[in-house]
Amino acid sequence: MREAGPELVTLHLWRVPRLAVPAAVLRMAVDRRAVRGAAGVRFAKLLGTGDGGSFRARDADPRTWGLLASWADRASALAFERSAVAARWRRLAEETWRVELRPLWSRGRWSGQEPFGRPAGGRAGGPVAAVTRARLRPSRVRSFWRAVPPVSADLRAQPGLRFAVGIGEAPVGLQGTFSVWDSAAALRGFAYAGAAHSAVIERTVPERWYAEELFARFAVEAADGTVDGRDPLA
């Protein structure tokens, strides 16, 4: 039997001024317990970001930080926006973007958990988002790095892509992506028809890159704020 997913998943992105980078790094360390202990939170990860070009430390963007969280109900997610943690990040940031997501499908685990439950599926009437995340086997990191650049280039050139960012709990070994697409068809076109991505999928099992992996798909329900001066959903 499938387990119902959380009512709502949110992603926050906070871009901070260059002089505020040390304060953001500190917040990443000290806010973890408060975020995980927030009322109604089922799963939460404070994240670093990057361009995802190779998933190496050199891709990291020290000015942009994120929070991905699953919520038991919408009221809890809204209450978090009034919390001291959220207020501190808003004061620190010069630009913010928050997107609300409804889980449609999820396979795999993240830190041993199923963060988005086992949603029964469904259709999205508009844009869709995807989250991928993997914990790399240390012995396979270099092999994985060599395979990433063609996939990243293919992703950026893919029709229907509105936004993509690399996400991770650490600069090396714990990596993923968050992307927003015009439609489910556009996402499927990249995932299963893109030559570079299809080749990587075929290599995943024999190469044994991942000790843990997850892929999830969401309906994008609402968003507020901007990324690099624009709303990816506009």
pLDDT band at 44 (very low <50, low <70, confident <90, very high): very high
* Residue 40 in domain: yes
**CB-based contacts of 90-93 (< 8 A; 24+ apart in sequence):** 90/14, 92/14, 92/16, 92/20, 92/23, 92/24, 92/27, 93/14, 93/15, 93/16
* Residue 37 in domain: yes
What pLDDT is attached to residue 218? Answer: 96
Contact 132, 214 (CB under 8 A): yes
Instruction: Kindly state the average pLDDT of the residues 104-132.
Output: 89
Instruction: For residues 34 and 173, give the distance between their C-alpha atoms in angstroms, rounded to a whole number.
Output: 25
Q: What is the CATH number of the domain that holds 209?
A: 3.30.70.100
Instruction: Kindly state the average pLDDT of the residues 56-65.
Output: 80
Neighbours of 54 (CB within 10 A): 18
* Residue 230 in domain: no
* Residue 231 in domain: no
Contact 216, 179 (CB under 8 A): no
pLDDT band at 173 (very low <50, low <70, confident <90, very high): very low
Contact 132, 204 (CB under 8 A): no
**Minimal CA–CA distance to 121: which of 4, 1, 213?**
4
Range of the domain at 12: 8-225
Kindly report, residue by residue over 138-170, the tens digit of the pLDDT.
655 565 555 555 555 566 667 888 999 989 886
* Residue 28 in domain: yes
Kindly report, residue by residue over 87-101, the tens digit of the pLDDT.
999 999 999 999 999
* Backbone region of residue 30 per phi and psi (left: phi > 0; alpha: psi in -120 to 50; beta: other values): alpha
* Residue 234 in domain: no
Radius of gyration of the chain (CA): 17
* Residue 221 in domain: yes
Secondary structure of 18-53 in HEC code, one letter for each residue: HHHHHHHHHHHHHCHHHHHCCCCEEEEEEEEEECCC
Is the pLDDT score of 48 beyond 80? yes
Instruction: For residues 47 and 53, give the distance between their C-alpha atoms in angstroms, rounded to a whole number.
Output: 17
Q: Look at the chain and report how many structural domains it folds into.
A: 1
* Residue 211 in domain: yes
Contact 197, 155 (CB under 8 A): yes
Exposure string over 219-231, b if 16+ CB within 10 A, otherwise e: bbbebebebeeee
Contact 176, 136 (CB under 8 A): no
Higher pLDDT, 76 or 234: 76
